[in-house]
A and B are shown apart, each in its own frame.
Chain A
Amino acid sequence: MTDESWPDTDPVPGWVKAAAAGDQHAWDLLVDRFAGLVWAICREHRLSNSDAADTVQLTWLRLLENLGRIRDPSRLAGWLATTCRRECLAVLRQAKATVPTADDTLDLVMGGSGAADQSVLATEQRAILWQAFARLSAWCQQVLRALIVDAEDGPPSYRLVAVELQTPVGGLGPTRARCLSQLRKLLDSSGI
């Protein structure tokens, strides 16, 4: 795997085009790639599990009805995140209208303009970070996941991760560094 061949062309615009033209498999690939992001946005807005499930599904239906209309498919992550956020806010607003108690969540996401801007920024960052992570090699994603997510609190055990991934423990550090550097490269290029 040489650096010249990386990163691969982003497959997402092709999937959007194919799904718009009737390709179920392309749609499935889009779901596989972005389902995590859509759930993450709902959880970021502190929706209950059942509200989150409804909002996630409605977000997919929004994409479905707009497949042929996406202006910039290379920024689909941002489109999905923004669309999901809009539906989350509608849910929160409705909850506030029917139960008029102080709603910290709604104030947090909708409160003075400063707080609202902050929230838009946070959602957008999640979309960009998600998209960049998804474009890493499968191996990088595995390694970073194992070192980050499975770590819970405290530093990860490289030894345990090495066993889990069936890879020499000495290679994990350099791999982590290389994958992080690739992630940064993807983040930088997404800012163009």
Chain B
Amino acid sequence: MSPEDPGLGGPAADDQERAFADASRALGELDDQELIARLGELLGDAEVPSWSAELAKASYGLRAVDAELAALSSDSGLSAESGMRAVAAPRLAVFEVAGLSLQIEIEIEAEPGARSGLWRLVGQLTPAGPARIGIRHQDGAVSWTDADDRGRFSAAQLPGGALSLRCERPGQPAAATEWIWVS
């Protein structure tokens, strides 16, 4: 789990407590006029397209109940970068859970200027070893591939959007990575 997660203890949690206390106090100090105005802004911004709510509900089936969660420990797609980032540069992401590290490189399958909207990835398991790899998509579809004896795997023609990898190693508990957004 990321230490930034507000659900865990630690410095981020203290900041969260302080933000909560400050915010509660600020709301309590508003007069009726201001409170109504604030509520109006909030409700006005809270329109939910019906397809969005349906998609969120349907996503419940994506829960990986029997797998350990491999958290995103680094992601080149998230680091603050100055200046232009080459659009074609592959994105490097590493997921970790006790006893396993999954490293992947993702890049878009396209000629410059032509957007196919499909992606390819290459991955590496550490410790190196064979495994069944399932690349899970938001709609529930899974693309299966195998990691070889050296823990290497690859996949192509992957649709963008939310992606999570499931890793099944012989004799080991299954692992599923955090969802990341590929776009």
Contacts and interface: CB of A to CB of B under 8 A. Distances in A.
A60 interface: yes
A54 B53 CA distance: 12
Interface in B95-145: 138
A158 interface: no
A64 B84 contact: no
Interface stretch (B2-10, B151-159, B165-173): B2-10
A40 B45 contact: yes
Contacts of A39: 45-48, 52
Given A125-B38, A145-B43, A94 B23 contact: no
B69 A65 contact: yes
A102 interface: no
A15 interface: no
Interface in A62-101: 62, 64-67, 69-72, 75, 78-79, 82-83, 86-87, 90, 93-94, 97-98, 100
Given A65-B69, A71-B8, A90-B78, A32 B28 contact: no
A180 to B, nearest CB: 6
B24 A149 contact: no
B59 A82 contact: no
Given A35-B56, A39-B48, A187-B24, A79 B65 contact: no
Contacts of A148: 36, 39-40, 43
A23 to B, nearest CB: 9
Interface string A112-144: 000000001100111111100100000000001
A79 B7 contact: yes
Interface residues of A, number: 65
Contacts of A127: 23
Contacts of A64: 59-60, 62-63
A124 B46 contact: no
Contacts of B38: 125, 129
Interface residues of B, number: 64
Contact of B78 (A71, A93, A120, A130): A93
A82 B179 contact: no
A53 interface: yes
Given A57-B162, A75-B20, A128-B27, A37 B46 contact: yes
Contacts of B21: 191
B80 A121 contact: no
A54 to B, nearest CB: 6
Contacts of A154: none
A53 B36 contact: no
Contacts of B83: 97, 100
Interface of A: 19, 22, 24, 27-28, 31-32, 35-37, 39-40, 43-44, 53-54, 56-58, 60-62, 64-67, 69-72, 75, 78-79, 82-83, 86-87, 90, 93-94, 97-98, 100, 120-121, 124-130, 133, 144-145, 148-149, 151, 180, 183-184, 187-188, 190-191
Interface of B: 1, 4-9, 13, 15-16, 19-28, 32, 35-36, 38-40, 42-49, 52-53, 55-57, 59-60, 62-65, 69, 77-78, 80-85, 87, 138, 161-162, 164, 176, 178-179, 181, 183
